[in-house]
Structure 1
Amino acid sequence: MSMRGVFLPGDFTAVLREVEVPIPGPGQLLVRVGASGICGSDLSYIYRGHKTHAGQEGPAYKGVVAGHEPSGQVVEAGPGCRRFGVGDRVIVYHIVGCGRCANCRRGYMISCTDPRHRSAYGWQRDGGHAEYVLVEESTAVPLPDELSFVDGALIACGFGTAYEGLLRTGVSGRDDLLVVGLGPVGLAAAMIARGLGTARVIGVERSPERVAHARSLELFDEVLTADDGVAEALDEVTAGRGCTVTMDCSGSAAGRGVAIRGAAEWGRVSLVGEGGRLETEVSDLLLHRQLTLYASWVTSLPAMEELACRLVRWDLSPQRLVTDILPLEKADEAYRLADSGRTGKVCLVPSPS
């Protein structure tokens, strides 16, 4: 039996091809995809051209079905599966690790140290931009009934990344938060911060469309435009004190500079945006202000499962951040929309059979 899957040639296009529906082996699940998100790292490292990533030798993308943010429903379980069976709704943690190294044993398969066994859905093995995806049971996370498949797709990467970045800083109701870069991960950080009880959330973004979208969501107390006057604007809205926690989701040197400049004395700065460089004056901006910098990459399996349950408890729906949901047949259009930098989250869904 065949199905349709999306491939990324690396020339700013997304191509739909027929592929065989996989058969689950021992410890594997066949999942009917309910939704699959488009991630900024897919755009940077695959869609615009096949590049190395995270220490890979040669291009990270191996010509597989794209998409590392799937959620869906199990339709077949291979021999030896213990936790999940037919009918279960799951989120797919997007890295398969060796399961034996220290990072994998802590649930951080993203940081698996065994290159022989580490593989990512949509990068080195077939991903979620298809009607079905074959997943290791060890990478499946329960999707609560209260959440949609689109909710699950957002948790699979962007929300997990934002959650981990906030947890590292110990953010709480005692803090105010500055988020720089209001793409999908930045918006996720604001929504999660509201669930965690953060006292005040301020956003900074350079795209006028994303500024308008962020304001419409009513997650921020203030949304500022990233222009030449942003430092003064931040001083004004924080009475010159800055924010106790700041997070850069932009992945740009300029954005990271705003996050550092906007931190209060003794503040904590979380860096989660991929790519680019960190360029800062050290003494006056870091040392003399007693700042702590946290660098965070995605999240762990336990934290992702915890987040899904907390979102239900907080009555928050990640799907609110989505601006475009398109069928697989319009994958090329979906990628062009996501790559424009003017939208919120963009997701693909299989057409009803």
Structure 2
Amino acid sequence: MSTAVPATSIMTVDNIMRGVVIKGGRRLAIQEYCIPVPGIGEVLLQMQASGLCGSDLRAIYRPENPKSEGAEGYRGVIAGHEPCGKIVAIGPNVPPEWKVNDRVVVYHIHGCGCCRECRAGRFISCHSEMGRQAYGWQRDGGHSDYILASAADLVRLLEPLSYIDGSVIACGLGTAYAATLRAQISGLDTVLITGMGPVGLGAALLAQKEGATVYGMEVDPFRREAAEALGIRTLDGASPEIKEEIGELTGGYGPSVVIDCSGHPKARLFGLEVAREWARIVFVGEGGSVSFDVSPLVIHKSLSIFGSWVCSISQMESLVENLVNWKLFPEKLVTHVFSVGEAEKAYTLFDSGKTGKVIITSEEEAKRWRESK
């Protein structure tokens, strides 16, 4: 449910903020709201960066009538589930470690706090129909000037990570990190990542830092070029010799880990086919399906297949710490930044598939990003 109150004629400019609401059918609106006041256990953040995610396109932006129920039910709230910002006001009963001006990432699922999954920090798997709310889906998200967040959902953004780094961590890179943890990647591994969109690129960069030899696979030339520019050797998934290429690169064995970030049936099947015996397969890309003959592809090869959705909040905290130690700045995945007022342009461009990560930022953060290029 939206907690932001629509602006009225009696409000002053100082009390009004903008928020992006997705209408479906590739339509959105920028609306005015009263800046909210934090309640018990809440903080008010001034938004600095909020990423666009492929799941926003698939489940909310493109469908003519986005569904309103379930984990991906959109309830007409302010969009954006990758928020990162600065605390500007603190409500009652917020733990004293959070202070005004603290830089934070918002873990984008608010759980009930009582079920078994929430107690393990896996808010994404919260079982409560009433208590589980995702920012940008069932409660107001980050495509706005301000956002109310529960203090329980905050992850401290460590220096020298930027706000844009934080917004990439908030979902996309957190999702990639969870996948590498499920696969237990180490320096002993050769990893193939299928689908080199923002999540695939992030998974590749993380797997490299975890010590693995990493190859990407992508059919889109733009995305292959982007991956290569980041130092990720990326193969043409449309090449008729692709299996032979992978065989040569892996000494004839195939990769020990395959992470599918494409969600495409052919890519998923391909990963199972080229994986070596006893390999670990992780399905991350949303949507689609896959059909295969279980005995020769899975049982006889002794493959382990994992599904991986989003990292837990504790994993996100460790990711932030690791990024600082690795000197890995996920901002390098970003190709375009826009202000809240340019949201329609941002979504249209991101929907084209010809971008890296796209971020809606504050004017200050947009200026910093552009000057760094």
Same fold (TM over 0.5): yes
- Of residues 51, 68, 79 in structure 1, which corresponds to 2:81? 68
What pairs with 1:5-24 in structure 2 (closer than 5 Å)? 5-24=19-38
- Of residues 324, 327, 330 in structure 1, which corresponds to 2:339? 327
Matched, 1:258 2:291: no
CA distance in 1, matches of 2:335, 2:44: 29
Letter in structure 2 aligned against 1:70: P
CA distance in 2, matches of 1:13, 1:234: 42
- Of residues 319, 328, 348 in structure 2, which corresponds to 1:336? 348
User: Where does structure 2 lack aligned partners over 5 or more consecutive residues?
Assistant: 1-14, 366-373
Match of 2:158 in 1: 144
Matched, 1:160 2:174: yes
Match of 1:184 in 2: 198
CA distance in 1, matches of 2:29, 2:58: 17
Task: Tell me, yes or no, if the aligned pair for 1:33 and 1:70 is still in contact at 8 Å.
Answer: yes
Match of 1:38 in 2: 52
What pairs with 1:88-167 in structure 2 (closer than 5 Å)? 88-167=102-181
Which protein is bigger by CA-based radius of gyration?
2
Match of 1:243 in 2: 255
Match of 1:207 in 2: 220
Q: Which moved more, 1:266-275 or 1:254-263?
A: 254-263
Look up the SS of the partner of 1:29 in the other structure. Answer: strand
Letter in structure 2 aligned against 1:69: E
Match of 2:246 in 1: 234
Structure 1 position 241, deviation (Å): 1.1
- Of residues 314, 319, 331 in structure 2, which corresponds to 1:302? 314
Task: Tell me, yes or no, if the aligned pair for 1:93 and 1:301 is still in contact at 8 Å.
Answer: yes
CA distance in 2, matches of 1:170, 1:43: 30
Match of 2:12 in 1: none
Q: Which moved more, 1:285-294 or 1:275-284?
A: 275-284
Task: Tell me, yes or no, if the aligned pair for 1:204 and 1:223 is still in contact at 8 Å.
Answer: yes
Structure 1 position 239, deviation (Å): 3.0
CA distance in 1, matches of 2:144, 2:165: 18
Matched, 1:84 2:98: yes
Letter in structure 1 aligned against 2:230: L
Structure 1 position 228, deviation (Å): 5.1
Letter in structure 2 aligned against 1:297: W
Structure 1 position 13, deviation (Å): 2.5
Percent sequence identity over matched residues?
44
Task: Tell me, yes or no, if the aligned pair for 1:64 and 1:122 is still in contact at 8 Å.
Answer: yes
Look up the SS of the partner of 2:291 in the other structure. Answer: coil
Look up the SS of the partner of 1:246 in the other structure. Answer: strand
Matched, 1:283 2:263: no
Letter in structure 2 aligned against 1:224: L
The TM-score, its normalising length taken from structure 2, stands at 0.90
The CA RMSD measured in Å over matched residues stands at 1.5
Q: Which runs of 4+ in 1 moved over 6 A?
A: none
User: Where does structure 1 lack aligned partners over 5 or more consecutive residues?
Assistant: none
Task: Tell me, yes or no, if the aligned pair for 2:257 and 2:279 is still in contact at 8 Å.
Answer: yes
Task: Tell me, yes or no, if the aligned pair for 1:126 and 1:133 is still in contact at 8 Å.
Answer: yes
CA distance in 1, matches of 2:254, 2:205: 20
Letter in structure 2 aligned against 1:203: G
Task: Tell me, yes or no, if the aligned pair for 2:87 and 2:102 is still in contact at 8 Å.
Answer: yes
Matched, 1:348 2:371: no
Match of 1:217 in 2: 230
